Structure 1
Amino acid sequence: MTVTVVVPTLGRPSLDVLLAALAAGVAEHDLELLVVDDRPGNPPALDVEAKVLTGPARGPAAARNVGWRAARHDWVAFLDDDVVPDPDWADRLVLDLAAAGSEVGGVQGVLRVPLPDDRRPTDWERVTAGLADGAWITADMAYRREALERCGGFDERLPRAFREDAELAYRVRREGWTLQRGNRRVTHPVRPESTWVSVRTQRGNADDALLRRLYGPEWRELLEIPPGRRPRHLAVTVAGLTALAAAAARRPRLAALAGLAWAAGTAEFAAARIAPGPRDAREVGTMLVTSAVIPPVATLHYLRGWWRWRARG
């Protein structure tokens, strides 16, 4: 079984942990290991035998394309640089791919996200844990090189680690391949993040606008992506803007009604995020503030994406 392992990286410290976990299996099974450094500057110094490629600094989709196009083997296994493979990951990878029939274009690994045992998980921890249930995510996903060639690889118009893997999986299946789940395992630790991470991730709404432009109103069903809150975010944003405009126009009744609608929508969103969490003062405060900020930010990013892609396909 000839396999290339591609790891795009931004040089995070977790890369060293990943490569150390891979070292024995790479040597035993003679896997080709390609690390795509997606930052400008000096390439990382590695303690394992691997080829370092220079990425275009346009996000993980473009970096992975650099990797698989340079690969020498028939199968390409993608790993994110913040996962930790099990000690027998390479053994199970080889078995997963050997068991794949000729109609199988891709095989996903099993992903675990460790959560605290002594308290309820925070909002960010729950978001990260959702990766464990994701379909065809490239935190650990292997594709036949032929399947990647047929569909052209990752769409580089999707610059974030957000939807780019689901979109590729759809096109691979559209080309007639099937996808299946394997038995190899990786762990995805919850990395530390700032208070504003939930606001920052709303930039992905711009990518959703592109996917809707490409695949129409049913794009979520086609790409196996769960329903989102965008309609509610839009309604809350409109209510807030209406309240401000009515207040400026000295229409107190309309301002009060719109303000009440905004407050109710924001409270519902905050409660939905607070209820399953630890409910300590810091988490509650963070959820209250970010729940007020997220709807307009999400709406703005979606409109920005809609405007950019309105005449393109």
Structure 2
Amino acid sequence: MSGDPGADGPGPGYAVVVPTLVRDTLADCLAALAAANGPAPDEIVLVDDRPGPDAGPDALEHPLTVLGDLRERTVVLRSGGRGPAAARNTGIRAVASPWTVFLDDDVQVGPHWCEQLIQDLAEAAPDTAAVQGVIAVPLPGERRPTDWERGTAGLARARWIAADMAYRTGVLEEFGGFDERFTRAFREDADLALRVLDAGWRIRRGRRTTRHPVRPAARWASLGQQRGNADDALMRRLHGPDWWAKAVAPRGRIRRHAAITGAGAAALALAAAGRRRAAGVAGLGWAAGTAEYAWARIAPGPRTRDEVTTMLVTSALIPPAATWHRLSGLWRHRGAPAWRELAATSPAEAVRPARPANAVQGPSPGLSPS
């Protein structure tokens, strides 16, 4: 990578913002950025989103070392463990460059990423608010992918994901950045994109490519993912019942999950009331729905003993978990007004909660802001 911003040729200035929980993948992410050919970023803002007691500086020593000369233009901020949306907003407030590029800490930019990014930004029309990178998810070639691997592979087809997304910094400031009510890495990027598109801006796909390896996950990780159903409830409140179509997002199985959960609950209630025949009918409905869901997840996978066992157990647990999170999300966000109603007043203040006084702390020792 060139040592100075724009040294390899004229181009738009840009900053790179990386929110992180300081996972093992961070060093590879920063090493790939440092090795990429092309004009270097004006600044790198690394936002440590670990909760206070866990945010010791020692864990950052190795990842920062791999940056080489770029370490001099890197600043480390802390966002207090409030989620990736809040972490990115913390980074935005520190950026002075005309473009802000978001990278997740588990991706690896390609070898020519910097020069391709400059080309993407230079080709952006005046009404283009953002340019999305191309995400590539490497999958095993010797076997069928697991359920978790197939889920990660879906990122390659997703619209507007912040794993590699460049926004005009002025647009981010105009719209108040990311909505911090999205506390997980889910839907916060689609929400921002829909708000920007609703206002008449465009978002295009660029040419630069970034790898998103499939990271290891706990056996029951799919259960934890069901918390995203609460975020879907917030999306419905903000963008209307047709937000799925606007965001070109898969609708998912929430209706089937609710039906399966209802059948199971009815079977238990009827059995407790002594209505065995009716309970049996409801139980058959629950079993049929669960079996269909399990097979839909097992059939395209490797069908190993561990994978089949995991799919059978989680397929029984996911429908009630998904239904619970959807209902809790509907209740929690029942008073959230639609985005267009808020946009009529002040879009920037409408979605960004007030920043806590200690949300951003200064650069870590040994680092200097660009």
Q: Secondary structure, in 3 states, of the residue corresponding to 1:250?
A: coil
Partner of 2:175: 151
Partner of 2:45: 34
Contact 2:133/2:206 (CA < 8 Å) preserved in 1? yes
Q: Return the match for 1:282 from 287, 306, 310.
A: 306
Partner of 2:15: 4
Structure 1 residues 205-214 or 110-119, which shifts more?
205-214
Equivalent positions of 1:75-224 (< 5 A) are 75-224=99-248
Structure 1 residues 43-52 or 85-94, which shifts more?
43-52
Q: Does 1:261 align with 2:285?
A: yes
Quote how far apart the aligned CAs of 1:223 are: 2.4
Question: Structure 1 counterpart of 2:131, which letter?
Answer: V
Question: Structure 1 counterpart of 2:14, which letter?
Answer: V
Question: Structure 1 counterpart of 2:16, which letter?
Answer: V
Query: Using the alignment, how far apart are the partners of 1:71 and 1:287 within structure 2?
Result: 44
Question: Structure 1 counterpart of 2:137, which letter?
Answer: V
Contact 2:159/2:247 (CA < 8 Å) preserved in 1? no
Quote how far apart the aligned CAs of 1:30 are: 4.5
Alpha-carbon displacement from aligned partner over 1:226-280 (angstroms, at most 9, x marks no partner): 2110000000000000000011111001100000000000001001001100011
* Distance change (3 Å), C-alpha of 1:200 and 1:30: closer
Structure 1 residues 171-180 or 209-218, which shifts more?
209-218
Q: Secondary structure, in 3 states, of the residue corresponding to 1:29?
A: coil
* Distance change (3 Å), C-alpha of 1:27 and 1:117: closer
Query: Using the alignment, how far apart are the partners of 1:157 and 1:17 within structure 2?
Result: 30
Question: Structure 2 counterpart of 1:22, which letter?
Answer: L
Q: Does 1:21 align with 2:38?
A: no
Contact 1:122/1:277 (CA < 8 Å) preserved in 2? yes
Contact 2:137/2:152 (CA < 8 Å) preserved in 1? yes
Query: Using the alignment, how far apart are the partners of 1:24 and 1:281 within structure 2?
Result: 41
* Distance change (3 Å), C-alpha of 1:26 and 1:119: closer
Contact 1:151/1:175 (CA < 8 Å) preserved in 2? no
Contact 1:170/1:222 (CA < 8 Å) preserved in 2? yes
Query: Using the alignment, how far apart are the partners of 1:30 and 1:81 within structure 2?
Result: 16
* Distance change (3 Å), C-alpha of 1:269 and 1:134: same
Partner of 2:349: none
Query: Using the alignment, how far apart are the partners of 1:186 and 1:24 within structure 2?
Result: 13
Residue segments in structure 1 that go unaligned for 5+ positions in a row: none
Indicate the RMSD between aligned Cα atoms, in angstroms. 1.2
Quote how far apart the aligned CAs of 1:29 are: 2.7
Question: Structure 1 counterpart of 2:91, which letter?
Answer: G
Question: Structure 2 counterpart of 1:72, which letter?
Answer: A
TM-score (norm 1): 0.97
Size of the aligned set, in residue pairs, is 313
Query: Using the alignment, how far apart are the partners of 2:118 and 2:56 within structure 1?
Result: 33
Q: Secondary structure, in 3 states, of the residue corresponding to 2:230?
A: helix
Contact 2:42/2:97 (CA < 8 Å) preserved in 1? no
Query: Using the alignment, how far apart are the partners of 2:138 and 2:224 within structure 1?
Result: 23
* Distance change (3 Å), C-alpha of 1:274 and 1:30: closer
Query: Using the alignment, how far apart are the partners of 2:239 and 2:41 within structure 1?
Result: 40
Q: Does 1:58 align with 2:105?
A: no
Q: Does 1:271 align with 2:321?
A: no
Alpha-carbon displacement from aligned partner over 1:87-136 (angstroms, at most 9, x marks no partner): 11111111110111111100000111110111000000000000000001
Quote how far apart the aligned CAs of 1:212 are: 1.2
TM-score (norm 2): 0.83
Contact 1:7/1:81 (CA < 8 Å) preserved in 2? yes
Partner of 2:356: none
Quote how far apart the aligned CAs of 1:26 are: 8.5
Residue segments in structure 2 that go unaligned for 5+ positions in a row: 1-11, 338-370
Contact 2:99/2:168 (CA < 8 Å) preserved in 1? yes
Query: Using the alignment, how far apart are the partners of 2:38 and 2:187 within structure 1?
Result: 33
Structure 1 residues 236-245 or 171-180, which shifts more?
171-180
Identity %: 58
Alpha-carbon displacement from aligned partner over 1:169-217 (angstroms, at most 9, x marks no partner): 1111112210001111111110111110111100011111111122221
Contact 1:243/1:259 (CA < 8 Å) preserved in 2? yes
Question: Structure 1 counterpart of 2:32, which letter?
Answer: A
Q: Secondary structure, in 3 states, of the residue corresponding to 1:291?
A: helix
